[in-house]
Chain A
Amino acid sequence: MDTLFVSMAVIIAGGAAGLLLCRQFTLMKLVAIATTSVGCGIGLLFTVPKLLSGGAELAVTYNWLHVFTLAFKLDSVSLFFLIPIFLVPPLTLLYSFHYLENKDKKLRVGVSYFFFSVLVASMALVVMADNMITFLLAWELMSLSSFFLVMYDYEVYENRKAGYLYLIFAQGGAMLLFATFALIYRHTGSFDFASFASIPDASKLLVFILAFLGFGSKAGIFPLHIWLPKAHPAAPSHVSAIMSGVMIKMGIYGIFRIYLLLDAPTPVIGQIVLATGMVTGILGVVYALAKQDIKQLLAYSSVENIGIILIGLGIGMVGVSEQNQAMAFFGFAGALLHVFNHSIFKSLLFMGAGSVLHKAKTKNIEELGGLMKRMPVTGRTFLAGSVAISGLPPFSGFIGEFLIYYGAFQGLSSQNLPYIMTILAIVSLAVIGGLATACFTKVVGLGFLGEPRTAQAANAKESGFAMGFVMSIMALACLVIGVLPEPFVRLAFLGIQDVPAAAGFNTDSFIVIIQHISKTAALFIGLLLLVSLFRKMMYVKKEIGSGPTWGCGFTQPTVRMQYTGTSYAAEMIGFFKPFVPVKTVYTGIRKIFPGKTTWESEVVDIAESNYQLRLITPMLTLLGKLRWIQHGNIQLYIGYIIVAIIVLLLFL
Chain B
Amino acid sequence: MIQLSNALVSVSHVGDVLLTMTVLSVLLSLGSNRLGALVKIMAFQGIVVSLIPFFLEHHGQMSTGSIILLQIMLLIKGLLIPGFMYAAVKKIKIKLEVEPIIGYNASLFAGLIFILLAAFITNRLQISLPVKNELLMIAAITTLAAGLFLIMSRHKALTQVIGYLMMENGIYLIGTALAKQTHTMYVVEFGVLLDLLVGIMIMGIIVHNINSSYDDVDTALLGQLKDN
Direct contact of A and B (CB under 8 A): yes
Contact B123 A420, beta carbon cutoff 8 Å = no
Contact A420 B116, beta carbon cutoff 8 Å = yes
Within 8 A of B (CB), among A544-571: none
Interface string of B177-217 (1 = CB under 8 A from A): 00000000000000000000000000000000000000000
Residues of A within 8 A of B116 (CB): 420
* Nearest B residue (CB) for A577: B103
Within 8 A of B (CB), among A391-431: 416, 420
Within 8 A of A (CB), among B99-150: 105-106, 116, 120, 123
Within 8 A of A (CB), among B52-74: none
Minimum CB–CB distance for A427 against chain B, Å? 11
* Nearest A residue (CB) for B123: A416
Interface string of A476-510 (1 = CB under 8 A from B): 00000000000000000000000000000000000
Minimum CB–CB distance for B31 against chain A, Å? 14
Contact A575 B123, beta carbon cutoff 8 Å = no
Residues of A within 8 A of B106 (CB): 578
A25, B123: Cα distance in complex, Å: 72
A416, B120: Cα distance in complex, Å: 8
Interface string of B81-111 (1 = CB under 8 A from A): 0000000000000000000000001100000
Minimum CB–CB distance for A430 against chain B, Å? 15
A492, B143: Cα distance in complex, Å: 47
Residues of B within 8 A of A575 (CB): 105
Chain B interface extent, by class: under 10
Interface string of A206-247 (1 = CB under 8 A from B): 000000000000000000000000000000000000000000
* Nearest A residue (CB) for B120: A416
Residues of B within 8 A of A578 (CB): 106
A-B residue pair count with CB separations less than 8 angstroms: 5
Minimum CB–CB distance for B118 against chain A, Å? 13
A578, B103: Cα distance in complex, Å: 11
Interface string of A567-588 (1 = CB under 8 A from B): 0000000010010000000000
Residues of A within 8 A of B120 (CB): 416
* Nearest A residue (CB) for B106: A578
Residues of B within 8 A of A416 (CB): 120, 123
Main secondary structure of the interface of A (DSSP, over half): helix
Minimum CB–CB distance for B119 against chain A, Å? 8
Q: How many residues of A contact B (CB 8 A)?
A: 4
Minimum CB–CB distance for A186 against chain B, Å? 38
Minimum CB–CB distance for B105 against chain A, Å? 7
Residues of B within 8 A of A420 (CB): 116
* Nearest B residue (CB) for A416: B123
A416, B123: Cα distance in complex, Å: 9
A578, B105: Cα distance in complex, Å: 12
Minimum CB–CB distance for B120 against chain A, Å? 8
Minimum CB–CB distance for B129 against chain A, Å? 18
Minimum CB–CB distance for A479 against chain B, Å? 38
A578, B116: Cα distance in complex, Å: 22
Minimum CB–CB distance for A70 against chain B, Å? 50
A578, B123: Cα distance in complex, Å: 32
A312, B21: Cα distance in complex, Å: 36
* Nearest A residue (CB) for B119: A420
* Nearest A residue (CB) for B105: A575
Minimum CB–CB distance for A578 against chain B, Å? 8
A420, B106: Cα distance in complex, Å: 20
Minimum CB–CB distance for A414 against chain B, Å? 14
Residues of A within 8 A of B123 (CB): 416
Minimum CB–CB distance for A572 against chain B, Å? 12
Minimum CB–CB distance for A570 against chain B, Å? 15
A529, B2: Cα distance in complex, Å: 44
A575, B123: Cα distance in complex, Å: 33
Minimum CB–CB distance for B142 against chain A, Å? 15
A420, B115: Cα distance in complex, Å: 12
Interface string of A307-332 (1 = CB under 8 A from B): 00000000000000000000000000
Minimum CB–CB distance for A397 against chain B, Å? 28
A575, B103: Cα distance in complex, Å: 10
Minimum CB–CB distance for B108 against chain A, Å? 12
* Nearest A residue (CB) for B103: A577
Within 8 A of A (CB), among B30-64: none
* Nearest B residue (CB) for A420: B116
Minimum CB–CB distance for A577 against chain B, Å? 8
A420, B117: Cα distance in complex, Å: 11
Within 8 A of B (CB), among A122-138: none
* Nearest B residue (CB) for A424: B116
A575, B104: Cα distance in complex, Å: 11
Minimum CB–CB distance for A419 against chain B, Å? 10
A146, B24: Cα distance in complex, Å: 54
A299, B212: Cα distance in complex, Å: 58
Minimum CB–CB distance for A6 against chain B, Å? 56
* Nearest A residue (CB) for B116: A420
A416, B124: Cα distance in complex, Å: 11
Minimum CB–CB distance for B133 against chain A, Å? 19
Minimum CB–CB distance for A474 against chain B, Å? 39
Minimum CB–CB distance for B106 against chain A, Å? 8
A648, B87: Cα distance in complex, Å: 83
Residues of A within 8 A of B105 (CB): 575
* Nearest B residue (CB) for A578: B106
A420, B120: Cα distance in complex, Å: 11
Minimum CB–CB distance for A278 against chain B, Å? 14
A420, B105: Cα distance in complex, Å: 21
Minimum CB–CB distance for A382 against chain B, Å? 33
A499, B30: Cα distance in complex, Å: 47
A420, B123: Cα distance in complex, Å: 14
Minimum CB–CB distance for B80 against chain A, Å? 40
A242, B120: Cα distance in complex, Å: 46
* Nearest B residue (CB) for A417: B120
Minimum CB–CB distance for B191 against chain A, Å? 39
Instruction: Pick the 5 closest A-B CB pairs, nearest first.
Output: A575-B105, A420-B116, A416-B123, A578-B106, A416-B120
Q: 5 pairs across A/B with beta carbons < 8 Å?
A: A416-B120, A416-B123, A420-B116, A575-B105, A578-B106
